[in-house]
Amino acid sequence: ASSDDDGDDGDQNGAAMALPAEHDWNTRFQSILRNIRTAVGVDETRRRYQELSSLVTDFIYLAETYAKIIISETYLPVERKTIKPLKGIGGVAGGDKYIVHGILFKFSNNSNGLYPSDEAASKVAAHDLKGLRAYFNCGIAQLHLPIMALVDYSGFRMSCQSMLPIDGSTLVYGSSNGALDVHTHRRLHVLLGKAARRINIKSHWAGRREPQFVHAAVDLEGHLGHDGHFYLVDFSRTLPPERPVKALRAAQLFRLLRPEFVKQSRIQLCPDAYSGFLPADQVDAAGGLHEHNREIDIATAELTTVVVPRAAAEMQRTVHRDDFNLQTEMHRRGINLRYLGAVRKYTSSGWLRTLILVEMIARVVKNDLRAELRKTLQRTVLPLEDPRRKAVISFLNIATA
């Protein structure tokens, strides 16, 4: 399907709704961004950024408040929940969804069985924020994005987004049904092409019934909102996957390459590689399914055999600096923290090897503690604080004994 309309053919992804002014986060957010772009002088620019800071602070406060309530009542029967989950809002990949005071809450758990674990589902939520940031950093004023925050509580993660003036009728680009139907829009296609070049991702054919040439992951949704602006939602697969590990189910959904690595890549990489959304028989100058997958294999090999060893050598020379931060150093070189072990293998510095080992242990402990908190909440059912505190104390006593 294609569209060139500029009018209101206006889901987050189910229903646009009229909001009280204090809860219309989107209108306030977009207005502040426009004012920042047109601000004249240091004083006005500072004032506009203070407005943005105030708005985001209020948004995060409400997001944390209600996310904790929703998470605490995870295992209560629906009829006993303070905030009821919504039906018919978007697809299954985003988890259970709720709307409170103009904020869309998406539960990043594995209740739908799509991922191998709740931790994998949490990573997808993190990729959603990372993808949004990638498009925001493109600096394309005509592409409007929601405010987004992640809340981690009691071992679960919740994604919180400002409601947008969109619904099922406003989708003009991408797919909301697993690439069965892919929409295109001439003006939005041009804007997303510009964004793709800045992020350094590959344009490609995608779709399972009638493939379309797209400049983004096919399930990135582009909407022509009821206010006449273009909006993007569902950013979790903005960045290309690394070569999937066969032992990990749906690894292509949560083991993605970092934006720094993608930006520095000599070749543009396809975000839909290994997704099942690429038509097997559609080939053009940019290649087809097998070429897209092969390029991901090459990039993954370059990451593990070139970038990681080089980073290990560089960090070995700077590890004793006062401002050295292991996570920052790896990320700015485009290396995911899951490659900590590989970096450690390539360094002979005792101090760096110790730092890496401590980080690896801390990450394992963190994931195990999150799992223990989830089990405790499932066991108690009721949103009680004391059982969680005792679970944390008991776990840390065992972990540090």
pLDDT per residue over 223-281, tens digit each? 999 999 999 999 999 999 999 998 888 999 999 999 999 999 999 999 999 998 998 77
pLDDT per residue over 169-186, tens digit each? 999 999 999 999 999 999
| SS3 track for the chain | CEECCCCCCCCCCCCCCCCCHHHCHHHHHHHHHHHHHHCCHHHHHHHHHHHHHHHHHHHHHHHHHHHHHHHHCCCCCHHHCCCCCECCCCCCCCCCEEEECCEEEEECCCCCCCCCCHHHHHHHHHHHHHHHHHHHCCCCCCEECCCEEEEEECCEEEEEEECCCCCHHHEEEECCCCCCCCEEEHHHHHHHHHHHHHHCECCEEECCCCCEEECCCCCCEEEECCCCCEEEECCCCCCCECCCCCCCCCHHHHCECCHHHHHHCCCCECCCCCCCCCCCCCCECCECHHHHHHHHHHHHHHHHHHHHHHHHHHHHHHCCCCCCCHHHHHHHCCCCHHHHHHHHHCCCCHHHHHHHHHHHHHHHHHHHHHHHHHHHHHHHCCCCHHHHHHHHHHHHHHHCC
Q: Are 310 and 341 in contact (CB under 8 A)?
A: no
2: pLDDT strictly greater than 50: no
pLDDT bin (cut points 50, 70, 90) of residue 8 is very low
Mean model confidence pLDDT for the chain: 91
pLDDT per residue over 10-56, tens digit each? 346 555 556 666 679 999 999 999 999 999 999 999 999 999 999 99
287: pLDDT strictly greater than 90: no
- What integer pLDDT is reported at residue 110 of this predicted model? 78
Please state, for a pLDDT cut of 90, what percent of the chain lies above it.
Answer: 80
Q: Are 162 and 103 in contact (CB under 8 A)?
A: yes
389 phi and psi angles, rounded to 5 deg: -60, -45
Q: How far is CA 300 from the centre of its chain?
A: 20
- What integer pLDDT is reported at residue 5 of this predicted model? 45
The pTM of this model reads: 0.91
The closest alpha carbon to 216, from 174, 188, 252, 255, belongs to 174
The more confident residue out of 144 and 90 is 144
385: Cβ–Cβ under 8 A, 6 or more apart, which residues? Answer: none
- What integer pLDDT is reported at residue 4 of this predicted model? 45
Instruction: Please name the residue that has the structure tokens 């108690």.
Output: 380
Rounded Cα distance, 222 and 230, in Å:
7
How far separated are the first and last CA of the chain, in Å rounded? 61
- What integer pLDDT is reported at residue 21 of this predicted model? 64
pLDDT per residue over 53-78, tens digit each? 999 999 999 999 999 999 999 999 99
232 phi and psi angles, rounded to 5 deg: -115, 140
pLDDT bin (cut points 50, 70, 90) of residue 339 is very high
pLDDT per residue over 346-357, tens digit each? 999 999 999 999
pLDDT bin (cut points 50, 70, 90) of residue 386 is very high
CB atoms within 10 A of CB 284: 11
Give the amino acid at 398.
I
Average of per-residue pLDDT across 215-225: 97
Average of per-residue pLDDT across 318-322: 93
* CA distances in angstroms from 313 to 110, 116, 320, 321, 348, listed in the order given: 39, 34, 13, 15, 9
